[in-house]
């Protein structure tokens, strides 16, 4: 059996309170006593029992991160960022994957592990605005990530979807593209990443006086590589002319690039491509992919900080909780090969 506080106290010849004081770095412990306690701890290989500590203190030092799937590089990178931010603040992260359907998200939110964490970082995917009320019922501090739900009573960290996509589109316009495909739209969606990003695209065209061609707005329900590839196949089959692509995320862009290359299109000479997310992979694809870096580390840090603040607010049982906050992170356009045309050599599409 593992050593307990009492064992340490006995070996050190003090009371458990003193041992507890030493462990928790309380002041008012005579150096020599501390010494003796530390020696006893080392001798016994004592480690505090976290279950007991949690039970007593009402805190676990763990937060859960609810995401769709780690195989999706965006979420793997987000998870890494969150774990780094959390561990810098002394927290552990319990990652919970959800199936992507509404039921599974709800059941995880309400789920059994709830009692094992101090708070939840929830990257909303399947729920929508109409579920905002459901979130209020979860009796745990929570911070929302993503763009599916606004105006709930929860803190929310999100990226500048419209601005980012507008900048991406402007970048393509600036290097000479005129027939730019928007890849990844969700017809009818207004809020949500797809709706917001489409808006940014339209704003950019509008500002440049370039007419909108509905055939250039390409639908893609899911945003994985395979979806980008499939979409590009139908675009080519339809014979639509285009000289640039703003993909609503990097995976779509990478999938589309693969199909274009098979079809003999040169990137960026024939078609310039830009994505969104700044996945690690965009630095290594052929060609390397220009993209919008949406401030993911900042999202992670901000979200963890906000959650921690909520947890502490709750612990100190103060009057009324602070108003929900909404934070938008800074984005940055990263230009790589897929949009870098040789100087003085405009796109070859001749439009």
Partner DNA sequence: CTGAAAGCGCTAACAT
Partner DNA sequence: ATGTTAGCGCTTTCAG
DSSP string over 51-63: HHHHHHHS--SEE
Task: Identify which of residues 2 and 174 has a Cβ nearer to a second copy in the complex.
Answer: 2
- DSSP tag of 124: -
Task: Tell me the residue ranges of DSSP E strands in 164-269.
Answer: 180-185, 217-219, 244-247
Closer to DNA by Cβ: residue 42 or 174: 42
Binding site for a second copy (CB under 8 A): 2, 45, 47-52, 54-55, 60, 62, 69-71, 73, 76-77, 79-80, 83, 92-97, 112-116, 139, 225-226, 229, 254-255, 257-258, 261-262, 280-281, 284-286
For the bound state, the minimum distance from the C-beta of residue 45 to DNA, rounded and expressed in Å, comes to: 12
Q: Which neighbouring-strand residues pair with 62?
A: 92
Q: Which residues pair with 144 in a beta bridge?
A: 122, 156
Q: Which does 16 bind (CB under 5 to 8 A by kind): DNA, a second copy, none?
A: DNA
Q: Which is nearer to a second copy, 51 or 319 (CB)?
A: 51
Strands 291-293 and 332-334, bridge-based pairing = antiparallel
162 near 140, Cβ under 8 Å?
no
Q: Of residues 49-108, which lie at the interface with DNA (CB under 7 A)?
A: 49, 52-53, 55-57
Number of H helices, E strands in the chain: 12, 12
**Of the candidates 274, 295, 303, the residue with the CA atom closest to the CA atom of residue 67:** 303
Q: Does 28 bind DNA (CB under 7 A)?
A: yes
**With CB cut-offs between 5 and 8 Å by kind, which of a second copy, DNA, none does residue 6 bind?**
DNA
Residue selected from 24, 112, 316, 320 as contacting DNA according to rule CB under 7 A: 24
Q: Does 29 bind DNA (CB under 7 A)?
A: yes
CA nearest neighbour of 193 among 235, 251, 265, 264 = 251
Q: Which is nearer to a second copy, 28 or 56 (CB)?
A: 56
- Least Å distance between CB 9 and DNA? 7
* Number of residues lying near DNA (CB under 7 A): 28
Q: Nearest distance from residue 313's CB to DNA, in Å?
A: 17
Cβ contact 244:208 at 8 Å? no
């Amino acid at each position: 059996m593992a050593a307990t506080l009492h064992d340490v106290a006995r070996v050190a010849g003090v009371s458990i309170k003193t041992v507890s004081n030493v462990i928790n770095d309380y002041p008012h412990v005579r150096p020599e006593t501390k010494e003796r306690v530390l020696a006893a701890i080392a001798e016994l290989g004592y480690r505090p029992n976290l279950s007991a500590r949690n039970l007593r203190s009402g805190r676990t030092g763990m937060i859960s991160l609810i995401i769709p799937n780690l195989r999706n590089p965006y979420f793997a990178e987000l998870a890494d960022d969150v774990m780094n931010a959390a561990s810098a603040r002394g927290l552990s992260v319990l990652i919970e994957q959800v199936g992507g359907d509404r039921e599974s998200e709800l059941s995880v939110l309400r789920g059994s592990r709830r009692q094992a964490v101090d708070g939840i970082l929830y990257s909303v995917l399947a729920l929508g605005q109409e579920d905002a009320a459901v979130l209020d019922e979860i009796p745990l501090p929570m911070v929302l990530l993503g763009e599916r739900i606004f105006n709930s009573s929860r803190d929310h960290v999100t990226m500048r979807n419209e601005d980012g996509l507008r900048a991406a589109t402007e970048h393509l316009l600036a290097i000479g593209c005129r027939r730019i495909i928007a890849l990844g739209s969700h017809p009818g969606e207004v809020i949500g990443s797809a709706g917001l990003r489409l808006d940014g695209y339209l704003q950019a065209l509008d500002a440049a006086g370039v007419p909108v061609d509905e055939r250039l707005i390409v639908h893609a329900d899911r945003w994985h590589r395979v979806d980008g590839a499939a979409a590009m196949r139908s675009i080519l089959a339809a014979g639509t002319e285009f000289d640039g692509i703003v993909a609503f995320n990097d995976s779509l862009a990478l999938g589309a690039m693969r199909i274009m290359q098979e079809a003999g299109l040169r990137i960026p000479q024939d078609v310039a491509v830009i994505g969104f997310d700044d996945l690690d992979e965009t630095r290594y694809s052929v060609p390397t992919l220009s993209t919008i870096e949406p401030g993911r580390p900042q999202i992670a840090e901000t979200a963890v900080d906000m959650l921690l603040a909520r947890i502490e607010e709750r612990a100190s049982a103060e009057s009324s909780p602070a108003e929900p906050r909404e934070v938008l992170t800074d984005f940055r356009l990263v230009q790589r090969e897929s949009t870098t045309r040789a100087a003085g050599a405009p796109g070859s599409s001749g439009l």
